[in-house]
Structure 1
């Protein structure tokens, strides 16, 4: 876990800085500068792109992580053709997507024209969004397989949000119109892609060859089966996680998508550590499975679970302590999403607390179960969202998210325990939950002070001190203790100089 801990800390810091800038964009700029429909359109374009990227890459992104150890151990960098064929697969997948939109054009118009006509007007912007996002994902996965995760995270989490802020400011001062804004917004990943290509080139890792290697010939059948299975798994999982916005936009209108966007964004703060830990842990697990190192796999599984649970409980409870203060910065209409944040937040805590179960499955010999469980996830999520949204409106999306995520992770937990005799929970799991609840109860009685920002600062500081102290004293996570004491030693050394 040494590599995971060091890079995950740096990546997590970058992601949180990015989320802070993103918070300014999402909470302060977009809702106040754009109409609810315009704001929702920008979110919907990105969320649909996220769903379609696995199709356009033909699932080559997880395939790179899964099979790269075989390429790196048998081929020189200049003879490694994995990146070349992944890019070719992405271009083929993109053209299949374009053909699909042409074929289903009439159906798309019928579903969205009545309640979301603005989406139909700018549907063509999906094409640059999807292509650039997909290509960036391929090169990001390749970079991660080289254990270079910090710079791609810097681009995706920080630079992207800064550029978005610049575009919003340009639109606010009327330096660009709405049409040009959307075009530039849709091309942002192109800028990130160029920067990542230059980065890989300078590290001498950017090599293309159309000569088919012996490794590709030997593993092509296995990789094709793996890619197509994971394509279904990833697509089903992404559909399940993003289906609420599509159902809301079709059934209730784009304004509800705007409200859901805010609730989703706030709850996604909880997932920030998971993103960096998963990106770094995936190649480690792939290598451990290749070497049949079950001790390493168990170590990553258990440590990632408690580490993510501590992060998740901390962030979730800080958010909920200050939820009214947070919504006070938004227009009054957005407050309908308050309890959606609560239910989506609980679902994130459950997902985080079960560790890197998805990454463990996708790199194991039983990777097909990743597809089967994702099918179950979608089979639960779609009818739950459809029924609960139609009966409870926006709040129904929160109910559906919590219920489907709970069952989804329970199924994966049982399967991993049954097949591999691995489970992520220890006595430290109970300690983490106890410390979180105790810290929350001790802080929730603090009364509202003069200003929402001051209220967030006071409650957040008190909760952090109580939660952090108890976490260190109870030694819930060795990685957290080692990091904290290491930082303290560095501070002491600086002060002595």
Structure 2
């Protein structure tokens, strides 16, 4: 866990920095510079691109993580053809996507023309969004397999949001038109892509060869089967997790999407540690399965669950303690998302607390179960979102998310327990939940103070002080304790 812990800390810091910049964009800039529909469109385009990535890459992103140890263990870097074929697969996948959009163009227009005309007007911007997003995803996965995950995280989480801020400022001063803004916004991943290519070349990891290696000849059948199976799994999972804005845009209009975007963004703060831990843990798990090191797999699974639960509870409860003050900072109308955020937050905590179950399955011999459970997720999420949004409006998306994520993670948890005898929960899990409840009830009694920002700062600081102190005193996580005390000793040593 040493590699995971160190890189996850660095990545998490970068991701939080990026989310801070993104928070400024979402809370203070987008709602005040753009109308609700224009703001919603800036969220809808990247979310659709995210859903389309598995198709456009032909699921080569998880395939790189799964099979890279075989390439690195048997080939010199200059003979490693994995990246070449992954990028070619992306070009082919993107061509399929473009063909599909032309084929289904009439259906798309009919679904959105009445309530979301702006989306139809700018539909063509999906093409650069999807293509650049997909290429970056392939290179990001390749970098992660090389244990170089920090810089791609910086590009995706920090630089992207800073460039978005810059674009908004330029648009605010009327130096560019709305059309130009949306065009430049859709090309931002191109900047990230070039930067990552330069980075990989600097580290001498950027090699292309069209000569089919012996590893590719030996594993091509297995990789093709794996990729096509995970294509469905990843697509179903992304559809399930991003379907709510699409249904809202079609049935209620882009206005409600803007409100949902804000609360979804805030709830995603909870998942930040998961993103860094999973990105670093995936190649470690792949290597452990290759070596049949069940002790390492159990260690990663258990520790990732505890670390993610501690982080998830901490972030979720800070958000919920300050929810009313947060909505005072936004234009009127956004507070409609308050209880949507509650249910989304609970779903995120459940997802965090069950650890790297998806990564454990995806790198194991039972990787097909990743597809089956994702089908279940979509089979639950789509009808739940459709009917609950129709009956209850935006809050229906919160209900749907909580129910579907709970069932989804329960199925994976039970499968891993039955097949491998692994389950991530320990006494420390109970201690983490107890600490979180004590810190929450010890802070919630504070009255509102003067100004929302001051209120958030005071309430958040008190909660953090209680929570962190109890985590350390009761030794909930040895990783957290060792990290904190090592940092303190380093700071003392510099004095």
TM-score, length-scaled by structure 2:
1.00
3-state secondary structure, aligned to 2:333: helix
Whole-angstrom CA distance in 2 between matches of 1:154 and 1:44: 23
* Unaligned runs of at least 5 residues, structure 1: none
3-state secondary structure, aligned to 2:446: coil
Offset, 1:494:
1.4
Offset, 1:63:
0.2
Offset, 1:447:
1.0
Whole-angstrom CA distance in 2 between matches of 1:405 and 1:263: 17
Name the residue aligned to 1:449: 449
RMSD, aligned CA: 0.4
How big is each residue's C-alpha offset from its partner over 1:89-142, in whole Å with a ceiling of 9 and x where there is no partner? 000000000000000010000000000010000000000000000000000000
Whole-angstrom CA distance in 2 between matches of 1:255 and 1:359: 36
Whole-angstrom CA distance in 2 between matches of 1:165 and 1:357: 35
How big is each residue's C-alpha offset from its partner over 1:150-196, in whole Å with a ceiling of 9 and x where there is no partner? 00000000000000000011111111110000000000000000000
Equivalent pairs counted in the alignment come to: 495
Name the residue aligned to 1:359: 359
Name the residue aligned to 2:349: 349
Whole-angstrom CA distance in 2 between matches of 1:447 and 1:327: 16
Name the residue aligned to 2:204: 204
How big is each residue's C-alpha offset from its partner over 1:261-313, in whole Å with a ceiling of 9 and x where there is no partner? 00100000000000000000000000000000000000000000000000000
Whole-angstrom CA distance in 1 between matches of 2:333 and 2:181: 25
Is 1:279 matched up with 2:241?
no
Name the residue aligned to 1:392: 392
Whole-angstrom CA distance in 2 between matches of 1:366 and 1:453: 48
3-state secondary structure, aligned to 2:445: coil
Name the residue aligned to 1:214: 214
Whole-angstrom CA distance in 2 between matches of 1:363 and 1:256: 39
How big is each residue's C-alpha offset from its partner over 1:48-101, in whole Å with a ceiling of 9 and x where there is no partner? 000001100000000000000000000000000000000000000000000000
Whole-angstrom CA distance in 1 between matches of 2:339 and 2:180: 36
Whole-angstrom CA distance in 2 between matches of 1:22 and 1:148: 23
Name the residue aligned to 2:494: 494
Whole-angstrom CA distance in 1 between matches of 2:327 and 2:190: 33
Name the residue aligned to 2:291: 291
3-state secondary structure, aligned to 1:422: coil
Whole-angstrom CA distance in 2 between matches of 1:338 and 1:177: 34
Is 1:168 matched up with 2:168?
yes
How big is each residue's C-alpha offset from its partner over 1:348-398, in whole Å with a ceiling of 9 and x where there is no partner? 000000000000000000000000000000000001001100000000000
Offset, 1:402:
0.4
Whole-angstrom CA distance in 2 between matches of 1:163 and 1:381: 33
Whole-angstrom CA distance in 1 between matches of 2:478 and 2:341: 31
* Unaligned runs of at least 5 residues, structure 2: none
Whole-angstrom CA distance in 2 between matches of 1:256 and 1:419: 43
3-state secondary structure, aligned to 2:206: coil
Name the residue aligned to 2:401: 401
Is 1:120 matched up with 2:154?
no
3-state secondary structure, aligned to 1:192: helix
Name the residue aligned to 2:135: 135
3-state secondary structure, aligned to 1:400: helix
Name the residue aligned to 1:91: 91
Offset, 1:491:
1.2
3-state secondary structure, aligned to 1:332: coil
Name the residue aligned to 1:31: 31
Offset, 1:238:
0.3
Name the residue aligned to 2:468: 468
Whole-angstrom CA distance in 1 between matches of 2:408 and 2:135: 29
Whole-angstrom CA distance in 1 between matches of 2:323 and 2:246: 26
- Aligned counterparts, 1:210-359, within 5 A: 210-359=210-359
